[in-house]
Amino acid sequence: MVDMSNVKLRIENIVASVDLFTDLNLEKVIEICPSSKYNPEEFPGIICRFDDPKVALLIFSSGKLVVTGAKSVDDIKRAVYKLIEMLKKIGAKFTREPQIDIQNMVFSGDIGMEFNLDAVALILPNCEYEPEQFPGVIYRVKEPRAVILLFSSGKIVCSGAKSEQDAWEAVKKLLRELEKYGLIEEEEEW
């Protein structure tokens, strides 16, 4: 197994879809949401920003939300429950717990070594590299589904994962492939 001790990953953004299972009157909701925008001719939902936790919420009359900008799943939950408490003050009724589904997590990281991206692109399957258009190799992992951007410095961005575990698994698969094709040296201790 590949040595992961040098690899660092940090959550940059989490996007979740949420169903509150209740209809909302957006004309009333806009009155209680600080730092928000609502222009139904341009966009059918309210764009609301919270400072704590630092997230943006798209709020729709169907009671569905999109929460983005979170750095943890806990931040998503805190934002949803904060909004629910605000909505109760304008008479919104809730008959069940909200359904929160993580749609995408974005991680930045560092593999801890440098790469010759021309060699990586020639040898590694499931990747794209157009250095004139983008300075990194785009590596697609099928299971768990994720995309990893690999830069010559060893820095990476992993997106599309639905959990931190999926992101780590995707990075492990990339490292195994790099090792398999001789693009990184085998570790002495596995």
pTM over 0.95: no
Q: What are phi and psi of 76, to 5 degrees?
A: -60, -50
Structure tokens at 107: 């991680």
| DSSP result, 22-67 | S---HHHHHHH-SSEE--TTT-SSEEEEEETTEEEEEE-TTSEEEE
CATH of domain 105-181: 3.30.310.10
Q: Where are the alpha helices (H) located in 41-181, listed in sequence order? A: 73-88, 117-123, 164-180
| Averaged pLDDT of the chain | 94
Direct distance between the N- and C-terminal alpha carbons of the chain, in angstroms, rounded to an integer = 6
| pLDDT tens digit sequence for 55-93 | 999 999 999 999 999 999 999 999 999 999 999 999 999
**What residue spans in the chain does CATH classification 3.30.310.10 cover?**
21-97, 105-181
d(CA 21, CA 47) in angstroms, rounded, equals: 19
CATH architecture of 21-97: 2-Layer Sandwich (3.30)
Instruction: Look at the chain and count its residues.
Output: 190
| pLDDT tens digit sequence for 176-189 | 999 999 888 654 44
